Structure 1
Amino acid sequence: MTDIDLLLRLGLALAIGLLVGLERGWHGRAEREGARVAGFRTFALVGLLGGVSGALVPVAGPSAIVAVLLTLSALFALGYWNTLRADGDVGLTTEIALVLVYVLGVSAVLGETAPTAAAGVICAFLLSMKSRLHGWIARMDAGELSALLKLALISVVGLPLMPDQGYGPGGVLNPYELWWAVVVVAGLSFLGYVAIRIGGASLGMLLTGLAGGLASSTSTTLALSRMVRSQPTLAPMAAAGIVVAGSMAFLRVLFLAAMFQPLLLRQLALPVGIMAGVGFLGAAGLALLAGRNGEEGKPDGVEGIGNPLELGTALGFGAVLAVVLLGVHYLRLWLGVEGVYAAAALSGVTDVDALTISVSRLVGTEFSAFHGSVAVVIAVSVNSAVKGAISLVAGNRRLGLRVLPVYAAAILCGAAALALSAQAGGTLP
């Protein structure tokens, strides 16, 4: 290691200490001088001390790092004891952050600089998120926490134990792949569910649609439609939110294709991407039109979107996926590719994720990526038509006549893009 390289690494160690110290200093800015266990300068010095300790390893050996760490720990413990006696504060966040800054200072000299810098930034970010994190935890109920922990346990512990081989007709039921699909879909849905639970309806219809599209675009459509039934003035902005949710569902399909079959993604990117683009443009137009007419509105609450990490919900999706896999297998045997298209149309009435994953597993072995893309486009088109019908029936005519034209345009544009790509590839006569 050259002198320049060592100086740069020591600078990184100091920068990490300064960054974390800045956050801690700002957090304790109201405390009187000398009342804090550690502030801006202390964190900077601890980071630099970690870097110097790492630089001394070639001379003094690893024992230098351990000796300094033990000394610092004793000083931190003494400071914590004094704070506890004076203020009764039992928090250990600052002391743990000091130890981490020292370790990161050592890592800045002896380890990889990029992961070390990233860890320092994450540390400062987490420290700054105290009130927000506590707020999120306060909003989480016992059922949601239990569901998250159960699925995490089953996924992390149970997934590696699942047999990775096919069972049933044609070997289409692979327990490992089935459960992996459940984990991916449930995790993606949970992101949207958490976004809605954290932000609530106060974020507005459009952001509710964005989050709801990740959780369940159909459930979001039903929830917003029911809201319009009771609050008709929300129809213009609810229409925009519903279309946003449907457009997010298009992007969700592309994500699943990327996860399970990149060959399918190449075929789907153009038609489904265009459908998403048309949807987002239509939603923007609906929102602008509502704002121009003074019809902006926010819902009082969004109900009807269940926790996707409930064990029953996760297992239910796994069961649906298994049924769709078997249905696609038999219909393909009986009717060929047209049977897969029929299965796609039937599946699209209730679910698109299961069909997308099922088709992904067959592309490259049973039929081409183009035929797979046709099946998925059929499924998302039927699903979009169903959501348009929901907005008309569960909502009202004013809502449905805003949503249906946008979905119709998206379906037509997606079909046209698919036909053009087929002609360009010589798939159609």
Structure 2
Amino acid sequence: MDVELAFASPYIRLGIALLLGAIIGIQRGWVERNEAAGSRIAGIRTYSLVGLLGGICGLLADYFSELFIGLSFVALTVVLTVAYALRLKWHTNLSITGLVGTLITFLLGALAIVGEPTLAISAAVITAIILDNKQELHNALQRLQEYELDAALRLLLISVVLLPLLPNEPMGPWGAINPYEIWWMVVLIAGISFVGYFAMKIGGAQKGILLTCLFAGLSSSTALTLQFSHLSKQQPQLNGLLASGILLSCGTMFPRILFVCSVVNRQLIESLWLPMLLMMLGFYIPAWFIWQRNKQLGQTNPEMKQNPLALTSALGFGLILMLIILLANGLQEWFGDTGTLALAAISGITDVDAITLALGRQSAGGEMLVLAAMGIFIAAAVNSLVKMGMVWFIGEAGMRKYVALPVLGAVMLGGLAVIVV
């Protein structure tokens, strides 16, 4: 049965308006359930009636004017403001949240009538959830650092402010540069790193080094590898734990590559899923066994000193990505497939994301799929070997044996999969 047809009856829509008021009212009534009778301004009955009032005003607006809803909203605002002002005489810590929730309930009741009942129900549930998580939201705000808030605002700046302003058309040599697409890729990688940082922060403190390093792979496995390599010289007794963390972090790079490919060019998944899966397992399985052998030494949770989103890093990544896209097109034009694969190997020394995005974009439309998949694999393999080199030359000697063999084995497994596929 069609949803819109089911909601066509005004009786059903009025029922929805009453119900969504009750949803919000149940939450507000539960919060104030211990207060004395008559001391509450609004509970389940009031919110239900306010939702119904909004629905009735929505119906009456069809007979009179759309202004009827607006005037009714203003009248309700005046009544509630007076009620809250009077209550301030007895409650000096009165929150305005209840007033806002009541006004939202009225508007949702009207929305259920004027043509968007599904949207009204969804908004009512979200409103109730927000109201119900007051303590959790306040605790999260208390734990939020200033630089993390700045990072969130920067992410909004580069995504919802700057991105729509950029021209969405090919420019430059070979038409390789599309400012909108390049900046969209910057937003994609910045968003993944942002999510990885906060996932690591939220889960790491309770779950220890395993979960911390797993999420660090979404942000910067290279940074974690470098930091843990230095840490191994300071605390050699933790070599096994640190090595398992490095392997976990590096292994998370491969599902991250698949996710980026699925966004940029889904056709690449067919060629890359098996090599990436085998390389991921080649890191994860040894990490688990190393952890099991060394966990009796005690868990540690080294802090990752990392900015969740540095604007200079985002700009730098955008410039690197633009350069790699130009070089990928140029080398393909001048030297054919060999030039593209050489660029992939060079790019993999420092970063995998840029070459993954560049080759994914270049192979969109079905052309160069095999070459792009090979280039991404080469970049991932080189990047893994570079991290192994960090451990070998920077880390404590006892950690080398834990990392070298799994990395080499994972790269060989991935190479065999590429040949088979």
TM over 0.5: yes
Q: Secondary structure at the match of 1:303?
A: coil
1:170 to 174, 198, 204: 174
Q: Partners in 2 of 1:197 and 1:53 — Cα distance? A: 47
Unaligned runs of 5+ in 2: none
Q: Partners in 2 of 1:3 and 1:161 — Cα distance? A: 40
State the partner residue of 1:207.
211
State the partner residue of 2:107.
103
- Residue 379 of structure 1 deviates from its aligned partner by 0.8
Partners of 1:202 and 1:298 within 8 A in 2: no
Partners of 2:155 and 2:191 within 8 A in 1: no
Partners of 1:16 and 1:47 within 8 A in 2: yes
Q: Partners in 2 of 1:284 and 1:13 — Cα distance? A: 53
2:260 to 256, 271, 278: 256
The answer to whether structure 1 residue 352 and structure 2 residue 352 are counterparts is: yes
Partners of 1:139 and 1:198 within 8 A in 2: no
State the partner residue of 1:179.
183
- Report the residue type matching 1:304 in the other structure: K
- Residue 150 of structure 1 deviates from its aligned partner by 4.2
Q: Partners in 2 of 1:272 and 1:204 — Cα distance? A: 26
Q: Partners in 1 of 2:379 and 2:343 — Cα distance? A: 9
Partners of 1:239 and 1:283 within 8 A in 2: yes
Q: Deviations over 1:373-421 (max 9, x none)?
A: 1110111111122223334444434444333443334323322222222
Single out whichever of 136-145 and 337-346 deviates more from structure 2.
136-145
State the partner residue of 1:425.
none
- Residue 23 of structure 1 deviates from its aligned partner by 3.0
Q: Secondary structure at the match of 2:212?
A: helix
Q: Partners in 1 of 2:178 and 2:115 — Cα distance? A: 41
State the partner residue of 1:295.
297
Partners of 1:275 and 1:414 within 8 A in 2: yes
Question: What is the percent sequence identity of the aligned residues?
Answer: 35
State the partner residue of 1:241.
245
- Residue 123 of structure 1 deviates from its aligned partner by 1.6
Q: Deviations over 1:123-151 (max 9, x none)?
A: 22222333333333333444443444345
2:161 to 157, 164, 171: 157
Q: Partners in 1 of 2:260 and 2:294 — Cα distance? A: 33
State the partner residue of 1:426.
none
Q: Partners in 2 of 1:83 and 1:227 — Cα distance? A: 59
Q: Deviations over 1:38-78 (max 9, x none)?
A: 23333333334334444555455545534543343223212
Single out whichever of 232-241 and 86-95 deviates more from structure 2.
232-241
Shift of the 43–167 alpha-carbon distance from structure 1 to 2, 3 Å rule, reads same
Single out whichever of 315-324 and 166-175 deviates more from structure 2.
166-175
Equivalenced residue count is 417
- TM-score scaled to structure 1, two decimals? 0.85
**After superposition, where does 1:372-391 map in structure 2 within 5 Å?**
372-391=372-391
**After superposition, where does 1:20-419 map in structure 2 within 5 Å?**
20-59=24-63, 62-89=66-93, 91-199=95-203, 201-291=205-295, 294-299=296-301, 301-308=302-309, 310-364=310-364, 367-419=367-419
Single out whichever of 32-41 and 331-340 deviates more from structure 2.
32-41
Partners of 1:278 and 1:410 within 8 A in 2: yes
1:13 to 12, 17, 31: 17
Single out whichever of 218-227 and 73-82 deviates more from structure 2.
218-227
Unaligned runs of 5+ in 1: 422-429
Q: Partners in 2 of 1:3 and 1:148 — Cα distance? A: 39
Q: Secondary structure at the match of 1:132?
A: helix
Q: Partners in 1 of 2:232 and 2:121 — Cα distance? A: 49
Shift of the 3–407 alpha-carbon distance from structure 1 to 2, 3 Å rule, reads closer
Q: Secondary structure at the match of 1:386?
A: helix
- Report the residue type matching 2:419 in the other structure: A
Partners of 1:173 and 1:322 within 8 A in 2: yes
- Report the residue type matching 2:307 in the other structure: G
Q: Secondary structure at the match of 1:87?
A: coil
Shift of the 110–342 alpha-carbon distance from structure 1 to 2, 3 Å rule, reads same
